[in-house]
Structure 1
Amino acid sequence: MIERRLAADLRERLGFYPGVVLLGPRQVGKTTLARVIAAEHADALVLDLERPGDRAQLAEPELFLAQHRQRLVVLDEVQMLPDLFTQLRPEIDADRRAGRFLLLGSASGALLRQRTESLAGRVGYLELTPLLASELPADLATLQQLWHRGGFPQAQLAPSERLSYAWRQDFIQTFLQRDLPQMGVGVAADPLHRFWRMLAHLQGQLFNASQLGMSLGGASHSTATRYLDLLVDTLIVRRLEPFLPNVGKRLVKSPKVYIRDSGLVHALLNIASLSDLQGHPIVGASWEGFVVEQVRALLPAGAEMGFYRTAAGAELDIVVQTGTRRLGIEVKFSAAPTVTKGFWQAMGDLQPARTVVVAPVARAYPLRNGVDVVPVWALPELLAA
């Protein structure tokens, strides 16, 4: 079993909060992690709310929760019973002991947070991402496989490329035809699938709602925005906002959009093998999105992340700000990366404390002018510092 980096944070939060909400897309490993944690608590109770029998036990939630007050109660797929959150508040207030509830949600981050507003101060939030490079062996072959197949455990650990690709194709169909309707989303599967594929072709580009709406057969820009919001809220797509420092420049203010799992990007574009990927026009944008997700998952609490671009052509792929300290990250899919004039312009505008270029290399080495080329598995130490 792969040890997830989030496990230590989850144990820490359960030792402090009465409840923890663990978010993440379907099939990302939330249930597996929750069962590992539950096994560490004597007499923990695990309910899967997709199962009618388990949901029936919560027909009278006030009585049921009070009856199991001394146990860790794990509720999987908690978005299936959204009204349960109103019952949790008085129960937590009746006994504020830490580590009472672990709630797993595959629904949207925004939607679930709205439902849990009444639990403010009573629960902590964590997000489990697909597998990270820092959770796997630090070698280029493993890294290439993770990038190609993506981080969903079943796709990554499949015994062959063919089976990994088939799993990802099945995931896409199941998400559109079963998962979204179960969440109460009333959007037809075919137009949303077309929109999702368009985003894959536009991986890492600025979001243009009007252009995407026209490509959907003349749909309005508000329809395209609604589809994007849906995929962002279901933790499938990332909307990366621009970093807007006060530097007296004309800044690009539209967000970039990335499909968060690189394996899903490749499945949506019918890229079935690593050799096909390496010769595909999307290869650079796919690698950039992969690195963006590695960085975002490793950021400390309170850190901000965005990208920087000006009308004059200055550009930096990722800017991380923690307090007054600023880190610049450029992403290049090359074993011998070079950077453009726009990169150096961005360096002059932003004056980061440190700047690195993340590339598929085995070890770090200096580029020039204080900029280092680093491998992906150097990111945990870099971001911790």
Structure 2
Amino acid sequence: MIPRQLHDPLIQALREAPAVCLLGPRQAGKTTLALEVGKRLGGLYLDLESELDRAKLAEPEAYLERHLDKLVILDEVHRTPNLFPILRGLIDRARRTGQGHGQYLLLGSAALGLLRQSGESLAGRVRFLELTPFTVREPTDRDTATLWLRGGFPDSLLAQSDEQSLRWRRDFIRTYLERDIPQFGPRIAAETLRRFWTMLAHRQGAPLNVAELARSLGVDTKTAGRYLDLLVDLLLARRLAPWHTNVGKRLVKTPRLYLRDSGLTHALLGIADPEALLGHPVAGASWEGFVIENLIASAPEGTEAYYYGTSGGAEIDLLLHLPGSRMWAIEVKRSVAPRPERGFHAACADLNPARRFVVYPGTERFPLGQGVEAVSLGELATELYNMSKRG
């Protein structure tokens, strides 16, 4: 098993909270990580997509009460929302006997629904963690360029060739469209949602315009918004919010939209290899989204992510509001000789961030003037992660 950067935080959370909810898209490695943790802690694993395991929970309270002395792992728990009130009662019962932590590890692939279900029933009893696909920090034995091309889903990244990786991603997309997505809401035609998903890939990093998406798809704005909400809920898309604090400027207030895994973006666009990627019009926006996802995944708990833009052209690709009210301003460049834009300097003058970086594909770290440093993605991700450990 490749060590995951969330392994130790997950162990720590189970030592402190009665229940931990591990969120992440399908095939990101949640089950593998949970089984590894369960093996270490002596846990019991139940897959709620398995008829056999669901049968064990025909009388859930009676079954789970027999296992109050061990960690119970419930995979795809969103399939059985009726469990949450029962878990609350069992957690409270165990608390009265002095067992206040490490009872349940809940795994789910749909963020909003699971947050709502568990939040209502397990308020004050559950901690949430998100497992992303592999990041640049994790020891996969794949370089950054390969991670960018293939994305971080384990079976895609670790494939023996780019061709095998692309086949896996195409199968993954098809399975999501035809089998997984219908489980989470009203029936949506697979071909319609594929077209929508592909449109988002073409608009990687662009300001979100739901009305334009609706017109292109031939549906009303409400329907297009529902499709987008679904992809965000499934942790496949991100709406990066604009910085909203009043700085005396006319701020851009429209979120930017990114597909969260670069490999899926490339598969939707038919990009098969490094040469095709570097020559594609989406390459710059794809690299930007890839960098943003890796840095957010590496940042300390409690970090808030935004972009900053004004009508006058001041712009910051990623603004990290770190715990303790520190701000880091990050511009993303694909050039090996990076130079920050004038708009980046103007935005930094507006906000006066504590640190200023330009992330680029090279390996050396060097100053660019006016307090700005050029840095590789891996080095900056590691710096953010080490802040988490110190915290």
TM-score w.r.t. the length of structure 1 is 0.96
Q: After alignment, is 149-158 or 128-137 more displaced?
A: 128-137
Find the residue that maps to 1:243 and give its secondary structure: coil
Displacement of 1:338 in angstroms is 1.8
Determine the structure 2 residue equivalent to 1:110.
112
Q: Does residue 170 in structure 1 map to residue 171 in structure 2? A: yes
How many residues in Structure 1 have an aligned counterpart in Structure 2? 380
What's the counterpart of residue 63 of structure 2?
64
Residue identity opposite 1:177 in structure 2: E
Shift of the 134–225 alpha-carbon distance from structure 1 to 2, 3 Å rule, reads same
Displacement of 1:65 in angstroms is: 0.7
Secondary structure in 1 matching 2:330: strand
AA paired with 1:112?
Answer: L
- Read off the aligned partner of 1:361 and give its amino acid letter: G
**What's the C-alpha RMSD, in Å, of the aligned pairs?**
1.3
Q: Give the Cα separation in 1 of the matches to 2:231 and 2:107.
A: 18
The CA deviation string for residues 24-73 of structure 1, in whole angstroms up to 9 with x for no partner, is: 0000000000010011123x211111110111100111101101111211
Q: Check conservation: 2:137, 2:382, Cα contact below 8 A.
A: no
- CA–CA separation in structure 2 for the residues paired with 1:181 and 1:325: 42
Name the counterpart of 1:147. Answer: 148
Is 1:46 aligned to 2:45, yes or no? yes
Q: How far apart in 2 are the matches of 1:381 and 1:348?
A: 27
Q: SS at the partner of 1:382? A: helix
Q: 2:131 aligns with which of 104, 116, 128?
A: 128
CA contact (8 A) 2:2 2:140 kept: no
Residues 275-354 of structure 1 mapped to structure 2, 5 A cutoff = 275-322=275-322, 323-354=324-355
After TM superposition, the structure 1 = structure 2 runs for residues 1-385 of structure 1, keeping only pairs within 5 Å, are: 1-42=1-42, 44-96=43-95, 97=99, 98-107=101-110, 109-116=111-118, 117-136=120-139, 142-217=143-218, 219-322=219-322, 323-383=324-384, 384-385=386-387
% same residue: 52
Residue identity opposite 1:203 in structure 2: Q
Q: Secondary structure at the match of 2:312?
A: coil
Q: What SS does the corresponding residue of 2:346 show, helix, strand or coil?
A: helix
Measure how far apart 1:374 and its partner are.
0.3
Find the residue that maps to 1:335 and give its secondary structure: coil
The letter for the 1-side match of 2:200 is L
Instruction: Report deviation, 1:136.
Output: 2.8
Q: Is the contact made by 2:20 and 2:127 (CA closer than 8 Å) also made in structure 1? A: yes
Q: Secondary structure in 2 aligned to 1:135?
A: coil
Give, in angstroms, the shift of residue 237 of structure 1: 0.2
Secondary structure (helix, strand or coil) at the match of 1:374 reads strand
How much does 1:221 deviate? 1.5
Q: Counterpart of 2:16 in 1: which secondary structure?
A: coil
- The Cα shift of 1:381 comes to 4.2
Tell me the distance in 2 between the aligned counterparts of 1:185 and 1:54: 26
Alpha-carbon distance in 2 for matches of 1:135, 1:381: 10
Shift of 1:186: 2.3
Q: Tell me how far 1:188 sits from its aligned partner.
A: 1.9
Query: Which runs of structure 1 show a deviation greater than 6 angstroms over 4 or more consecutive aligned residues?
Result: none
Structure 1 counterpart SS, 2:166: helix
| Contact 1:79/1:183, CA 8 A, preserved across alignment | no
Which residues of structure 1 form unaligned runs of 5+? none
Letter in 2 for 1:195: F
Deviation string, structure 1 residues 96-155 (Cα, Å, up to 9, x no partner): 321111111012x111011112101111110000101011369xx711000100000000
Q: Does the residue aligned with 1:346 lie in a helix, a strand or coil?
A: helix
> How far is 1:380 from its partner?
3.3
Question: Letter of the aligned partner of 1:366 in structure 2?
Answer: P
Query: Which residues of structure 2 form unaligned runs of 5+?
Result: none
C-alpha contact 1:130 1:151 (8 A) present in aligned 2: yes
- Cα distance change on mapping 1:189 and 1:137 into 2, 3 Å: closer
What is the CA-CA distance between 1:321 and the residue it aligns to? 1.4
User: 1: distance between equivalents of 2:231 and 2:308?
Assistant: 24
Q: Distance in 2 between matches of 1:225 and 1:113?
A: 20
Find the aligned partners of 1:188 and 1:54 in 2 and give their Cα distance: 31
What amino acid does structure 1 have at the position aligned with 2:341? T
**Greater shift in the superposed pair: 83-92 or 159-168:** 83-92
